[in-house]
Amino acid sequence: MQTNQLFRLDGQIALVTGGYGLFGKPISEGLLEAGATVVIAARSIDKIGAAVAEFRERGLAADAMELDLSDEASIRAVVQAVVERYGKLDILVNNAVARGGKKLEEETAENWERIARVNSTGLFLMCKEVVPHMREQGGGNIINIASIQGAVGPSFHVYEGTDMTSPLHYTFEKWGMVGLTKYLANFYGPQGIRVNCISPGGFYTDQPEPFLSNYNKHTPLGRMADEIDMKGPIVFMASEASRYITGHNLMVDGGWTNW
């Protein structure tokens, strides 16, 4: 296979959870532009529909399905619908995340469990539903979108001068996601299923100037990530270009975790 073909995803069917938001839209766009058919699944069918319509106007093969990651029946129904509609499922990108976590002193068991139902249990159930189909078809590719906070603890000094902070649950769950990735990679590798993580650093969304200044000073490349920075890594991990990589956590962080 020629080098320029290693990164193509023509004929591949991908399912991206939360595939229209901050990380989700560039992830979906990157896969689509590489030739994949991408099913974007999330709770807000209106927002998904708008993203899909935008992609289809460009001639890209996008589809939409409603998904509630806190509901096991919804997860099962979406995976089954993808397989029935397209005959297979080659790529799963676990990107969706529930937010609303708090600092330790302010967190409650009820809120912790609400978030974990999506970020932990939902992640596990999505993998559980997808893996049997990938085994049956002889292989597949699972990509989990983790975070720099799944590799290092939060650097709270970057929040100085703002009312921003990092919630407790986020670090806990992203470390767990990385561990799950390595477990699944080792267990299902012999059956042709690759499982990897992509761990982005901070993403620019017009944050307060003190945070941006602090963050950029801490990052060797001197800036936050943007949409283009997500496209290359997701296509690399989804394609034959990374065919001998599994159980890996790819840091896409401008060097944040080098320190």
Q: Residue 43 carries which DSSP code? A: S
The length of the chain in residues reads: 259
Q: Which two tokens stand for residue 14?
A: 């991908």
* Whether residue 183 lies in the annotated active site: no
Q: Which two tokens stand for residue 153?
A: 């603890």
Half-sphere exposure of 223 (CA within 13 A, CB side): 7
Report strand pairing: 37-42 vs 13-17: parallel
Per annotation, catalytic residue among 20, 86, 170, 204: 170
Taking the C-alpha atoms of residue 84 and residue 38, their distance in angstroms, rounded to an integer, is: 15
> In b/e form, how buried is each residue of 40-54, taking b as 16+ CB within 10 angstroms?
bbbbeeeebeebbee
Q: Residue 257 carries which DSSP code? A: G
- For residues 205 and 164, the answer to whether their CB atoms sit within 8 Å is no
Taking the C-alpha atoms of residue 45 and residue 51, their distance in angstroms, rounded to an integer, is: 10
Half-sphere exposure of 56 (CA within 13 A, CB side): 11
For the chain, what percentages of helix, strand and coil (3-state, to nearest 5) are there?
A: 50, 15, 35
Element (H, E) at 141: strand 140-145
Catalytic residues: 170
